Structure 1
Amino acid sequence: MRTLLADGPDERNAAALADFGRLAGLWTTLITYHPADGSPVHSVSGEWEFGYALEGRAVLDVWRWPGRADLPATGRAPDQECGLCVRIWDPGLQLWRFTFHGTAHGDVVQMYARRIGDEIVMERAVGGDLVRWTFGAVTDDTFHWRNERSSDGGRTWRLDQEVDARRAPAEPDQE
């Protein structure tokens, strides 16, 4: 996989690539779901790993839940998700092209992303709704992600899902 993974960003767009590149590494997550039907809010552990790819022109990430520590002894959970995100900076449009592939349910999501203030916002239309995924409160060791939906053209937003992430400690062989 030498061609797939990269050690860092392509120098020509290094500043833009840092939007997602600063997340490079492994994160432990607490994923909280806020069902629209009024069902109880529930949470699950997960992991999110980011890294540079494609000669430093993209940032890939793999999202999974539950986290490895919470998997049953069989190594598979009945409702497990493991998805791949590909984020490519488009210098002509000055935004990110984003594609998510969810392996558990066959989800494919395409969005555009851009920095708005201190946040990175990904947006798309789904039927008559607007959906946005936002990375915010990013520090060296934490970030918060939220998935929101608007049915009124963006006047109001409902929180569907959020993720609190903490950078995982380095494994002994990686130090």
Structure 2
Amino acid sequence: MKTLLADGPSNLYATEMEQFGRLTGHWATEITYYPTNGSPARRVSGEWEFSYALEGRAVLDVWQWPAREEILTADRAADQECGLCVRIWDPRLQLWRFTFHGTAHGDQVHMYARQIDDEIVMERAVGSDLIRWTFTDITTGTFHWRNERSTDGGHTWRLDQEVSARRLH
């Protein structure tokens, strides 16, 4: 698998690669889910690992919850997840092409992403709904991520999920 992972970004699009590349490393996460039925929010811990890949022309990540330590000490939750994300810079579109493959439930998500000011915004339409995933408050040691949905063409947004991440290494 030496071809899969890379030590750093390709020189070809180094500036663009840094948008997601600054997340490379291993992160501890606290994930909060906000049910649509008004039930109380649910929190779980997890892990998120990012790496350059494919000769530095992509950024891969693996999203997992519960965290590895919890998987070893508890029964696996019915709604657990371990998924792979592939992000590739498209120079023609000047956007990131993003694909998520969730292995626990067979979820597949395709989105486009771009940097807007200090945030990285990923977007897609699902039927008449708009979905937006946003990385915010990115520092060398922390970041925040949120999953929002709009049912009115983007006029208002409802928070479905958020993640607070702390760098492990």
Task: Label 1:161 to 1:74 Cα distance change in 2 as closer, same or farther (>3 A).
Answer: closer
SS at match of 1:15: helix
Instruction: Tell me the residue number matched to 1:62.
Output: 62
Q: What is the rounded CA distance, in whole Å, between the counterparts of 1:43 and 1:72 in structure 2?
A: 19
Higher mean Cα deviation, 67-76 or 121-130? 67-76
1:1-175 residue pairs with structure 2 within 5 A?
1-73=1-73, 76-168=76-168, 170=169
Offset at residue 70 of structure 1 (A): 1.7
Q: TM-score, normalised by structure 2?
A: 0.97
Q: What is the rounded CA distance, in whole Å, between the counterparts of 1:125 and 1:19 in structure 2?
A: 23
Cα displacement string for residues 131-158 of structure 1 (whole angstroms, at most 9, x for unaligned residues)? 0000000000000000000000000000
SS at match of 1:71: helix
* Letter of the structure 1 residue corresponding to residue 45 of structure 2: S
Q: Percent identity?
A: 72
Offset at residue 71 of structure 1 (A): 1.8
Q: What is the rounded CA distance, in whole Å, between the counterparts of 1:18 and 1:123 in structure 2?
A: 19
Offset at residue 75 of structure 1 (A): 7.3
SS at match of 1:17: helix
* Letter of the structure 2 residue corresponding to residue 31 of structure 1: I
SS at match of 1:16: helix
Q: TM-score, normalised by structure 1?
A: 0.94
Q: What is the rounded CA distance, in whole Å, between the counterparts of 1:79 and 1:109 in structure 2?
A: 17
Q: What is the rounded CA distance, in whole Å, between the counterparts of 2:144 and 2:83 in structure 1?
A: 18
Cα displacement string for residues 61-105 of structure 1 (whole angstroms, at most 9, x for unaligned residues)? 000000012224367444321000000001111110000000011
Cα displacement string for residues 90-132 of structure 1 (whole angstroms, at most 9, x for unaligned residues)? 1111110000000011000000000011000000000110000
How many pairs are equivalent? 169
Task: Label 1:60 to 1:128 Cα distance change in 2 as closer, same or farther (>3 A).
Answer: same
Instruction: Tell me the residue number matched to 1:173.
Output: none
